[in-house]
Structure 1
Amino acid sequence: MNDQFPHIDENAVAKYLSGEANAVEISELMDWIESSDENLEEFIRYEKLWAESSVRKPFNAQKAWSKVSHHISKEKRRFNSYYLSAATVAAAIILIVISIQFFNTKSASSLPKFAIASANGILNSTLPDGSSVLLSKHSKIEYAFDSQKQIRLAKLSGKAFFSVKRDIKHRFIVEANRGGVEVLGTKFSVNETKNKDVMVYVLSGKVKVFLARASKDTLSLIITNGEKALIMASNDTIIKQTPEASALCDINKTYNINKTITFRNMDLSTIMAKLEKCYSVNIKIDDSVDKKLRFSSSFKNNSLNEILTVITQTLSLDYTKRRNTYYITNGNDE
């Protein structure tokens, strides 16, 4: 999250999930979701809790959300943080946040298309396959079903938020400027940067990232939970970033803006390296400690001592401090 979108409006989420939100409320919620990966994950978590509440129309958004909030509050009271894992992600819906340009192709140019465009406001619509799409202002999407290839193809100009209907027999493909993404059953985000690079980030499941001009099954790769792939426009190259590597790339920027630290199934060594960068301290892990221990949680506005206490208690470890250095040891060590 950032200063412009500091927190989620739970009433807005409830109204959106119940179909009662107006255009302004939807637009504000989408801005919040798109402002960070952490916000997108939190929205997905709310969505799952909403689905599990078994609320059906006619909706009373306030009453329904109270059931969801109860579960959320119980989770947040635990170590003043919430745990994110692949188990929290519903498999039936694919959420995509996309900001890309048209990729010129003739693959479906002769096919009947469904096209929608927004002017000075946002537009909520449903694609022929049952997927829903929320277009930001000054955006356009073209959709076609290729009966020969048995694929669903979406091309976007501008920015949109997709909720893609699961269909394992008919792949859903999003085309970007220098490449594209083939949905294999997952939740992920796609973002084209100002220099036309395309960043793909997978929250859960897996996707196939490919170059636009590549032949079938070449110049492509599969990325899965917590991984990122960068399609570089300058040299038509795809670079894969593991959770450990990508977690440290923008840690200073993310922490300085949000004061939020998120660990997604991260190993102990990477966690401590991340904390060192955020708090400008030295952290040493004893040789007897298993550095492959993994931990998932999110912290906001917590002190380093609070975070280390949660981590070490969860993993049955201990920590001590001498001057500006923290030492991580096994819980039964002296």
Structure 2
Amino acid sequence: MKNIKYSDYSLEDFLQDDYFIDWVMNPSPESNYFWENWMAKHPGNSKIAYLAKEMIGGLEYKNSVLPTHNEKVEVLENIIKRSSSKNVGSKLNKVLKIAAVVAILIGFLYLFNSGTYRKTKDLAVAPPTIMLSKQTSYGEQKTVKLPDGTIVRLNYGSRLIFPSEFGDSSRQVTLSGEAFFDVKPNPDKPFIITTKDVQTIVLGTSFNINAYSDEDEIQVMVVTGKVRVQNGADADKLEDVMLLPYEMVSLHRLTGRVVKEKYDPSEYLAWKEWTLIFRKATFDEIIDKLEKWYGVDIQIDQDLHIQGRFNGEFHNQSLEYVLKGLSFSNRINFELKDKTVTISKNENI
């Protein structure tokens, strides 16, 4: 689609735009996603776009930001004023389009003022959508079932925000942290996951997203189906990456570097089976992971300096078991009390 600044559009522009009219009259998953995403990002312009949609479709749009009756009358007056000031020598099709706009507006305002339309409007109003939130603390995992039947497994320290009911054209949720999604297939309603830096769009598949706010990278890993990942919040600057099964994409937050590659699900998705894996991890990385995995505070003696990188795999093991493994190979002592761990150098070895 050509690059158009819809944020500069007037009501007449929307009513004459072929792509907008085609969306209203013949919506598709792609056009639904584009326009709903655009309106969400441009709330100041969405009022005019919603009104144009009403006029083209002949329906009252169910949204709290719809223009009032007085605003509609004002828009009509402005259109008539601007239309009358145009060059008399304009092309015929331009005149016909403006006349059609005025006719639609007059008819719409007539219906708006009729008792029959008010009754239809009252019947069409739906209760407001309620946004729900599910989250996990460190040391916790949780399974969430969404309104459409999609199953989401949240890893520790994660949060998922979703509506009590999805809309008619798309399913949108927001994630902070890490989660595995098993999306209920629906080719007419794309499933969209928004994190701070990327959007992930699917129809029906299973995949993992790792997007902790305190980590430098965001990772999306596909298990089944096909996923589209978009880098960036500005719809005019999106960079699409398509992923197939056992492919992943990593986005470095600071540099913007994007890497697409194959991955080993037994390593990256082991957390779903309560398996903790370290691959060439530094001691600091291990400590950070243990704090989040077990929900504890680990205090390290300032005289303790451990170099090198370590490998390890622990399936559903206690924190004490993991710490004993570290102590054997790194000459350290540890003391575990409630939710606090103290690690110091072992002077006897």
| Larger radius of gyration between Structure 1 and Structure 2 | 2
TM range (shorter): 0.3 to 0.5
Q: TM-score, normalised by structure 1?
A: 0.36
TM-score, structure 2 normalization:
0.35
* Larger fraction in helix: 2
